[in-house]
């Protein structure tokens, strides 16, 4: 299959930025006043096209919070590509690390957002677009980045190789090591393999519950045993807030900050991850105060996100 790099833009000059490696899709959002009944016709309050995908949402939030960032995702050369690239440009998200593929369909998610309680139901489809590969990564990433975040998806072996590549590179550096993080959100047990390779591990409530874990504190304790020396595990647990733990340091925890009215929870987890990274990437120190500050800010911004539709009100 043909793949090619995008032409360079002024964004390419942005070194020292946060790179998010993961998915980009077209999200067709349907805002409804109550969840639809099966096998009946319904009108929605509003329908719109949005740019979606966890890594793509991470970049949207980072950019709105003033953090220079780039998305590294695959793009299908189908007609939706114009919408997606224009939207990335509108948010000042660098796209020079994106890889285009011929003869593929754009992944599409159909979302039902229930205005009554903000719940989001997603039906996702990706017929044939491959994920970013290790070869793409070594060809395009020049290692000038300060932080590289990975969305754990189906390409676990490829992400393992990319993280290992960064760890090998970091061993050759006295200063300016690249910090890495990985999001383990999906209900894929294979993703645990990534825990031993990154500096920050974001575990979702959904993934932890799949392993019978019942709280954010238990989650960070449990996953810490799979990590490398000095790494931190972070877990947001919806209505009970978030917790984090590094090595033998005590657990830090904060509560959640729900908005007055929950309008749209789509991308709340992606918002938490991005807002936490925005704090962590702006501090040299790895002490517990910074870890607490990061998850507390993550919860505040994620809470604010749920109070409005989309992300623009976070600016
Ligand atoms: C939200 C999200 C959507 C996307 C879907 C894919 O977290 O990234 O933007 O369409 O999940 O799983």
Q: For residue range 233-278, what is the model confidence (pLDDT) as tens digits? A: 999 999 999 999 999 999 999 999 999 999 889 999 999 999 999 9
Distance 117 CA to ligand 1 centre (A): 18
| Rounded Cα–Cα distance for residues 196 and 309 (Å) | 36
22 touches ligand 1 (CB under 6 Å): no
Sign (positive/negative) of CA torsion 299, 304, 307, 308? Answer: negative
CB 160 within 8 A of CB 31: no
Q: In angstroms, what is the C-alpha Rg of the chain?
A: 19
152 touches ligand 1 (CB under 6 Å): no
pTM: 0.93
Q: Which two tokens stand for residue 109?
A: 């998610």
27 touches ligand 1 (CB under 6 Å): yes
Distance 168 CA to ligand 1 centre (A): 31
Q: Which residue puts its alpha carbon closest to atom 4 of ligand 1?
A: 53
Q: Taking 70 as the threshold, does the pLDDT of residue 15 lie above it?
A: no
- At residue 14, the pLDDT reads 58
Which residues lie below 8 Å from residue 140, measured CB to CB, with a gap of 6+?
Answer: 5, 72, 96, 97, 99
Q: Give me the residue label for tokens 């050759």.
A: 172
Q: Taking 70 as the threshold, does the pLDDT of residue 3 lie above it?
A: no
Q: Which residue puts its alpha carbon closest to atom 2 of ligand 1?
A: 53
By DSSP bridging, strand 200-204 and strand 232-236 are parallel
57 touches ligand 1 (CB under 6 Å): yes
| Rounded Cα–Cα distance for residues 66 and 85 (Å) | 20
Q: Which residue puts its alpha carbon closest to atom 1 of ligand 1?
A: 267
175, β-bridge pairs:
none
The stretch 201-230 carries a mean pLDDT of 96
Q: Which two tokens stand for residue 189?
A: 């047990």
Helix (H, G, I), strand (E, B) or coil at 293: helix
Q: For residue range 62-119, what is the model confidence (pLDDT) as tens digits? A: 999 999 999 999 999 999 999 999 999 999 999 999 999 999 999 999 999 999 998 9
ipTM confidence score: 0.95
| Rounded Cα–Cα distance for residues 80 and 26 (Å) | 8
| Rounded Cα–Cα distance for residues 228 and 144 (Å) | 23
Q: Which two tokens stand for residue 230?
A: 């000095």
Query: Phi-psi region for residue 97, left (φ > 0), alpha (ψ -120 to 50) or beta?
Result: alpha
Helix (H, G, I), strand (E, B) or coil at 289: helix
């Amino acid at each position: 299959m043909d793949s090619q790099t995008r032409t360079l833009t002024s964004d390419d000059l942005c070194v020292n930025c946060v790179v998010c490696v993961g998915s980009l899709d077209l999200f067709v959002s349907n805002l409804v006043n109550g969840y639809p009944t099966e096998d009946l016709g319904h009108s929605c309050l509003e329908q719109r096209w949005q740019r979606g995908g966890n890594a793509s949402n991470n970049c949207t939030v980072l950019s709105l919070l003033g953090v220079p960032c780039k998305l590294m995702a695959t793009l299908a050369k189908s007609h939706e590509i114009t919408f997606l690239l224009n939207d990335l440009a509108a948010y000042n998200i660098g796209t020079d690390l994106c890889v285009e593929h011929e003869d593929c369909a754009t992944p599409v998610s159909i979302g039902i957002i229930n205005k009554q309680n903000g719940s989001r139901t997603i039906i996702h489809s990706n017929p044939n677009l491959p994920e970013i590969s290790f070869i793409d990564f070594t060809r395009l990433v020049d290692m000038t980045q300060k932080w590289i975040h990975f969305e754990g998806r189906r390409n676990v072996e490829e992400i393992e190789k990319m993280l290992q590549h960064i760890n090998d590179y970091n061993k050759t550096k006295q200063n300016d090591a690249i910090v890495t993080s990985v999001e383990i959100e999906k209900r894929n047990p294979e993703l645990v393999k990534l825990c031993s390779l990154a500096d920050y591990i974001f575990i979702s409530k959904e993934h932890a519950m799949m392993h019978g874990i019942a709280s954010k504190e238990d989650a960070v304790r449990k996953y810490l045993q799979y990590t490398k020396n000095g790494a931190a595990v972070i877990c947001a647990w919806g209505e009970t807030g978030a917790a984090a733990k590094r090595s033998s340091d005590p657990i830090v925890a904060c509560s959640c900050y729900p908005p007055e009215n929950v309008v749209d929870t789509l991308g709340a987890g992606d918002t938490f991850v991005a807002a936490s990274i925005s704090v962590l990437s702006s501090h040299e120190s790895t002490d517990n105060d910074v870890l607490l500050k990061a998850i507390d800010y993550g919860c505040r911004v994620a809470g604010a996100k749920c109070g409005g539709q989309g992300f623009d009100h976070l600016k």
